[in-house]
Every structure is written in C-alpha cells, then in structure tokens.
Amino acid sequence: MKNIAAETQDEDEVEDFKPLSAQEAQAWRMRFPQVSVWRIVAVQALVGLAVALLAWGVTGRAVVGWSAGYGALAVVLPAALFARGVARQRPGGAGAAMVGIFGWELVKLVLCIAMLAAAPRLIPGLSWLALLTGLIVVMKTYWIALLVRSGVQKTD
C-alpha cells in the first residue's frame, strides 16, 4: 500500500512541475549568478599565502611559514587540477558529467594525500600543526566563498 501512495505522490509532483519561461530563467540566472571555480581557487591561494606569512610572522620561524604554506598548497593544487578537469566540455550527457566529477574528485583526494605523505621529506623540520592549520583554513575558505558570493540579489 505504501508504494501506491508514494507513486501517487510522485505523479502529483510531476504534474505540478512547470518549466520556467525564458524570461523566468533569465531572472533566476541574474538572481543567482554562477560562481567561477577559478575565482574560488584564486581566493584559496591568496588565503593560503596570508596564512603562511602570518604563521611565519607570529612565530618568527620560516619553517612554520613554509609548513603552513605547504598545507595550503595541498588543498589549492588538487583543487586547481579538479577545476581544470571538470571545466572541460565533454560529450555524453549528465551521466558522463557525473562520472567525470567523481573521477576528478578521486584524483584530487589522491593528490592531496600524496602531498601530505611527501611533506616530511620536502620540508625539513616540518611543523605538522602549521601544516594542518594552513590546510584547514584554506579548505574552509571554499565554503565561505560559496556562502558570501557576491552578486546574489535578495528578494524583499
């Protein structure tokens, strides 16, 4: 019995669906402009640089700045690679697009882990606390950039 009720509800939702007109779609696009993935990557890079300089300035130790910067780079470099891979146009429809997104997300994750594993060999005297601080601050920058994106017009 439950399945029949669920199917009826699904059918009601399909019947209630009304596609937007060209004018309504344009108004929606103007109200919710696309956020450039490259802009987010650039903001992440700038925040990473700021965290590295701040870490160096506060501690007076260059290795702490390098560690924080490397932590930031372990987020920014994979994010830039992901953005490049996803931004390319591919034929094949929505299914192929989803496979591409998941594939590039896997590449991003593996590259980040590989960079973190290589950190002790690349940065002598590595400060793990500074590295994790740079990594976390830059990761959170992505969400802040999405939440505070400029150009979203509020309705009254």
Residue-level pLDDT at 38: 86
Residue 128 has a CB neighbour count (10 Å cut-off) of 12
Residue-level pLDDT at 156: 46
Domain boundaries, the chain: 33-147
pLDDT < 70 stretches in the chain: 1-15, 89, 145-146, 148-156
Residue-level pLDDT at 150: 53
Residue-level pLDDT at 146: 67
Give CA separation, 113 vs 79, 91, 135, 141, in Å.
13, 31, 12, 19
Residue-level pLDDT at 33: 74
**What phi-psi label fits residue 87: left (phi over 0), alpha (psi between -120 and 50 degrees) or beta?**
alpha
The token pair that represents 128 in the structure block: 């793990």
Say what the pTM is. 0.74
Residue-level pLDDT at 87: 81
